[in-house]
Amino acid sequence: MSETVPISVVEADSASSKGGLGALLAKKPELYLVPITFVIIMVLWEGLVRLLQVPSFVLPGPIAIWNGLIDLLQQDIFWGNLWVTGGEVLVGYAFGVVIALVLGTLISQIRVLERSLLPYVVAFQTIPSVALAPLFVIWFGFGELSKIVMAAIISFFPILVNVIAGLKASDPDQLQMMRSFGANAGQVFWKVKIRNSLPYVFTGLKVGTLFALVGAIVGEFVGAKKGLGYLILQYNYQFNIEGMFSVLIVLAVIGMLLHGAIGFVERRIVFWTGEDSHAA
C-alpha cells in the first residue's frame, strides 16, 4: 500500500531547495550577474551594428561572429594551429614555473642573491615583450622554440615575485615559536615558510598562465609559420574580421580554462585560506 507524504513535508522540502538556491545566488552573485551582463552587452552590440549599418569588415555583430566561430571549429587548419599554440604555452609555462620557483626560493633565502640578482630581473621585466620577440626569432628561429622561450620568460616574472613575497611573508611569531621548540632551518622552511607562501605562489601561477598565452601569441605575431597568432595575421590580411574575432574568443576560452585549472588545484591544496584568497 502506497504511503501518503504530508503536504507540510513537501512544502518544507520545496522551501529548503528555494532557500538553498537563493542563498547560493546571494553568496555568489556573479553566477547571475556575469551572464546577465554578457547578454546585455551582446544585445547592445548587435543592435548598434544593425542600427548604424556598420560594415562587417569593420565590426561584425555577435551573430556574424558566432557563425564565423562555428565555421572555424569545423576547419582542420584551426585544430592544427590550436595544438601548436597550446604546446608552446604549456611547455613555456612549465619552464617558467620551474625557473621561477627555484630562483625565487634562492633569492628569498640568500640575501646576497636578492641584492645582486633581483635588480637585474626587475630591469629585464621592464623591457616590452614585443621588443624581445624579434630577438628570439633571430636566436631560436621561426619554429616553436622561440615562442616557448617567449612564453617562459613572460610568465616567469609574476611567479618569481609572488614566490619571493610569499616566502618572506611568514609570521614572525610562528618562526620564533618553531625555533623555541628546537626546529632547525630546514624544518622552519618546510613547515612554516612553504605553507604560508602557497597562497602567494598560486596567485603568481594563475597570472603566469595568462602571461604565457600572451607571450606565445606575441611570438607568433612576430615570426611564425603556424599557430593561432599566425592564423590571426592571415585573417587580417584577408579582411576576415569574423575569423579574427573567432580566434580571439578561442584564446579567451583557453586563458579562462588555464586560470580555472590552477584555481581548482589551489582550492584543493590551499584549503585553509577561505574563498577570498581565490579571487585573483
- What one-character-per-residue DSSP string does 212-280 give? HHHHHHHHHHHS-SSSHHHHHHHHHHTT-HHHHHHHHHHHHHHHHHHHHHHHHHHHHHSTTS-GGGG--
Tell whether 143 and 262 lie within a shared domain: yes
Question: Is 237 among the domain residues?
Answer: yes
Identify whether the C-beta of residue 166 lies closer than 8 Å to the C-beta of residue 196: yes
Amino acid, single-letter form, for residue 12: A
Domain presence at residue 125: yes
DSSP label at residue 128 = -
Q: Which of 273, 275, 253 is nearest to 89 (CA)?
A: 253
Domain count, the chain: 2
**Torsions phi, psi for 113 (to 5 deg):** -70, -40
What cell was used for 39?
Answer: 547578454
Task: Give the model's pLDDT for residue 169.
Answer: 77
pLDDT for the residue 176 = 63
pTM: predicted TM-score of the whole model, two decimal places: 0.80
5 DSSP 8-state letter: P
**Same domain, residue pair 95 and 151:** yes
The C-alpha R_g of the chain, in whole angstroms, comes to: 25
Q: HSE on the CB side for 152, CA within 13 Å?
A: 18
Q: What is the pLDDT of residue 213?
A: 94
Residue 121's φ and ψ, nearest 5 degrees, are -65, -45
Q: Where are the beta strands (DSSP E) in the chain?
A: none
Q: Is residue 1 part of a domain?
A: no
Same domain, 44 and 169: no
Residues 17 and 117 occupy one common structural domain: no
CB 218 within 8 A of CB 146: no
Domain boundary among 18, 33, 52: 52
Note down the domain range covering 33.
7-52
Alpha-carbon distance 230 to 202, whole Å?
31
- Amino acid occupying residue 37: T
pLDDT digits (tens, 9 = 90+) for 49-103: 888 888 878 888 889 889 989 999 998 889 999 999 999 999 999 999 999 999 9
Instruction: Determine the Cα–Cα distance for residues 255 and 141; give it in Å rounded to an integer.
Output: 26
- Same domain for 45 and 100? no
In a domain, 2, yes or no: no
One domain for residues 32 and 121:
no
What is the largest distance, in Å, between two alpha-carbon atoms of the chain?
Answer: 84
Query: Which residue carries 584577408 as its cell?
Result: 238
Whether 41 and 166 map to the same domain: the answer is no
Average pLDDT of adjacent 10-residue blocks, the chain of 280 residues: 50 52 72 82 88 85 90 90 94 95 88 85 81 87 90 92 84 66 64 78 93 93 88 91 92 93 88 54
Query: Do 92 and 164 lie in a common domain?
Result: yes
Contact yes or no for 72/247 (Cβ under 8 A):
yes
CATH code, domain carrying 146: 1.10.3720.10
How far apart CA 144 and CA 87 sit, in angstroms, is 9
